[in-house]
Amino acid sequence: MIILTASPYLWALFGIALCIGLSVVGAAWGIFITGSSILGGAVKAPRIKTKNLISIIFCEVVAIYGVIMAIVFSAKLQNIDSKDLYTPSNYFTGYALFWGGITVGFCNLFCGIAVGITGSTAALADAQDPALFVKILVVEIFGSILGLFGLIIGLLQTGRAGEFAAAK
Amino acid sequence: MSSSSTSPIIQTKNPEFPRSVIYKLYIHTFFMVVLPLSTYFYTSKYFFEGEYGTTKAALSAAGIANAVVFSFIITAFMEDSGEKHQKRE
């Protein structure tokens, strides 16, 4: 019964929190894996420093997707009195923001981890053999598209959800 | 603490990592944060009206973010090939 009587605000704000939170977890995870590998490999092969920042930028793009979606979702929040809040349209907005946030958050989380592990291996392979970097970059581009999928589906889920509006 | 005779010499200006590289990275990071968000707000206010306005604005912001990534990739590769030509000469 608690789930049925939970406020749409709970669902909406929880979704926004998961969206940005999980995206940043994915981006941070990727950046620390890649960053430590670049720094370790650059001890013996300093030339890898500049080119391997591409992997860091790919991980950061994942966090930017999360920020964009959190801003898009939070634009639907309005201040509604609690007696006018429980309309079907507001319930739909709450649920849509919750599941849209989970979609975007988890897609960005695993995209960030994938790009991070690939980027760290790319740095170490580049330190050994410079010709390998361009080929591993293709793998990273494919991994980075996963975050874009999450963004598109999150937008499709919440595209029709209106702002919170008072009952008429 | 170890005296200066036993510690290695620390270079403050690293010739392999010139300042222009750091400036390009900072500029791309700054644009990565600022450009998508400002594109989203600008397009949703002035260009895309109607039911799916915010969706199209968010897609354009994601496109701009990917454009910044692409420009950074091109910059990094051009710098790398520039360094190779310098070292060969």
**Which tens digit of pLDDT belongs to each residue from A100-128?**
999 999 999 999 999 999 999 999 999 99
Q: Share the mean pLDDT of chain A.
A: 92
Tell me which chain B residues have a C-beta less than 8 angstroms from the C-beta of A156.
Answer: 55
Range A32-59 average pLDDT: 91
Check pLDDT > 50 for residue B2. no
What's the half-sphere exposure (Cβ side, CA atoms, 13 Å) at A75?
A: 18
Q: Which residues of A touch B58 (CB under 8 A)?
A: 68-69, 72, 151, 155
Nearest to B37 by CA among A158, A66, A148, A155: A66
C-alpha A14/C-alpha B88 separation (Å) is 57
For residues A126 and A48, the answer to whether their CB atoms sit within 8 Å is yes
Q: Are A34 and A48 in contact (CB under 8 A)?
A: no
Q: A75 and B76 in contact by Cβ < 8 A?
A: no
ipTM > 0.90 (yes/no): no
Q: Which two tokens stand for residue B54?
A: 């915010």
* Average pLDDT for A139-161: 92
